[in-house]
Structure 1
């Protein structure tokens, strides 16, 4: 049994609803259901029963709850103690984020961090995911904010949430009035996408193949900002995270389905076990902002 299993279990107990519990712990409902099934298989006991549309805690579930609640309370107390930051903490924090998170999430978290720790200096770089992984491995960075790396390289990845990617077009594009689009409908569409070495592009290529779509890729770029600007100025469309748009004028985002492209953003840590205090505090701020849905 892992800590996440305990938190997922308690979330369902508190809500008695898998959908609301999944929203509370920032995972998909299918992920939550799978994790609970794993827990039940490990314990050899059913923890919940479905009665119609209701979720009911079993006797085994009530017994587990009595043991889990004190454990989580102790863990939360330990985390709270680590968050008690000394006022005289000095030094420099080196972090990097991909463009999607450097638009809104990082500036917001950085403003909170600097208010709490005014004596610390923070160096932030905007890098591609592969570059972040390389810099973490070399020891040049304390932490990264990126998508789950295609090649782990021994890095530790802490998922934050699941993020849906959407089609973007100019406001006057023929597709701009659509409320939703199937991936197969992008067959033959003129597009601009990230270069093939990006993991996001590789994932999109897999989605195109699964849908039987062969879009016409007329421009490949290595950064999101010029890609969005190109969409705004031309008849090209693209696929990006909605977080990367930051209320960009003249651009319309359209949900995709069959399949829906989804990425998992998270925190990336170097392979060594010791994390600097400053990076722990920044990580906790990022978690809080994500949980509250501010960014």
Structure 2
């Protein structure tokens, strides 16, 4: 038994006539007769009383007809739902962001996407970059906005933003009048870093070691605002993405470029390789790509 069996049977039952049913279905009458006969043999019952000029349903035929109508309606609902999903563009996206990412990148992007796809819901969750990588890998979120490096064997990546890291110092610091410094110039400074949960912690630590010194870490925090306040209080210096400087509404701090080496902070959108992506997620990726052109 398949959908075609039921479709032919229902139409014959409605029309009470093979000829009318064949005209509506655009199928030859012998083909319909053969299909319904096959259905009767499979169920081992007679569905249609063919003894009169107008076909009638048997008791078994009435039962099968009622169930067949429900089944065909359910199938039609599936097609309608899929068509609605694709054409009306519905769905849900679980998007993981780092706490700073929404401020840097997404107010305008998300607003534009929402206007174009009002029926797609975006559930935004905030995690550190390392947590985001794990959650995308485990399938707990669809897409993640994280920082390079990302595992190229596990993830597809879409570059979003690249900017330099700068040194954040207090206004009375001896370096405040310098336009730029070498990272090695900071070897005797006290550093205030993000915690090990954040990729930026590793980026800064590795850059310092490649410049010939182990950074003296005075304090670690997961809160950007606290880092800014500690720098302003002359507890130490910090390395942050340039776009983050405007976040600190504090006249007691100042940003200085790093001339050597150039330390880049790259934001990327990641999603798991060889994993099914919903229609909504694929539309979001395409939208981001167009915005970046």
TM normalised by structure 1 equals: 0.62
- Provide the rounded CA distance (Å) in 2 between the counterparts of 1:245 and 1:206: 22
CA distance in 2, matches of 1:287, 1:175: 40
Match for residue 89 of structure 2?
89
Q: Alpha carbons of 1:286 and 1:197: their partners in 2 closer, same or farther (altered >3 Å)?
A: same
Instruction: Tell me if structure 2 keeps the 8 A contact 1:173–1:235.
Output: no
Q: How many aligned residue pairs are there?
A: 207
Secondary structure in 1 aligned to 2:188? coil
| Equivalences for residues 175-194 of structure 1 within 5 A | 175-194=175-194
Q: Deviations over 1:133-184 (max 9, x none)?
A: 1111221211111112455561222233432111112344333322101001
Instruction: State whether residues 194 and 201 of structure 1, in contact with CA within 8 Å, keep that contact through their aligned partners in structure 2.
Output: yes
Q: Which runs of 5+ in 2 are unaligned?
A: 1-84
Structure 1: 5+ residue stretches without partners: 1-84
Alpha carbons of structure 1 residues 152 and 252: separation in structure 2 relative to 1, 3 Å: same
TM-score (normalised: structure 2): 0.63
* Residue of structure 2 equivalent to 1:132: 132
Secondary structure (helix, strand or coil) at the match of 2:254 reads: strand
Q: Is the 8 A contact 1:188 1:214 kept in 2?
A: no
Indicate conservation of the 8 Å contact 1:103/1:243, yes or no.
no
Larger gyration radius, structure 1 or structure 2: 2
Aligned residue in 2 for 1:173: 173
The within-5 A match list for 1:20-31 is: none
Q: Higher mean Cα deviation, 145-154 or 265-274? A: 145-154
Shift of residue 189, structure 1, vs aligned partner:
0.8
1:142–1:202 CA distance, 2 compared to 1 (3 A): same
Q: Label 1:98 to 1:133 Cα distance change in 2 as closer, same or farther (>3 A).
A: same
3-state secondary structure, aligned to 1:146: strand
1:254-281 Cα distance to aligned partner (Å, 9 max, x none): 1112212113321100233432222233
Partner of 1:144: 144
CA distance in structure 2 between the partners assigned to 1:112 and 1:232 by the alignment:
37
Equivalent in the alignment of 2:268: 266
Q: Which deviates more from structure 2 when the two are superposed, residues 134-143 or residues 169-178?
A: 169-178
Instruction: Give the match for residue 64 of structure 1.
Output: none
Whether the 8 Å contact between 2:205 and 2:214 is mirrored in structure 1 is: no
| Structure 2 match to 1:105 | 105
Q: By how many angstroms is 1:87 displaced?
A: 5.9
Q: CA RMSD in A?
A: 2.5
Q: Distance in 1 between matches of 2:87 and 2:243?
A: 33
2: distance between equivalents of 1:195 and 1:281?
34
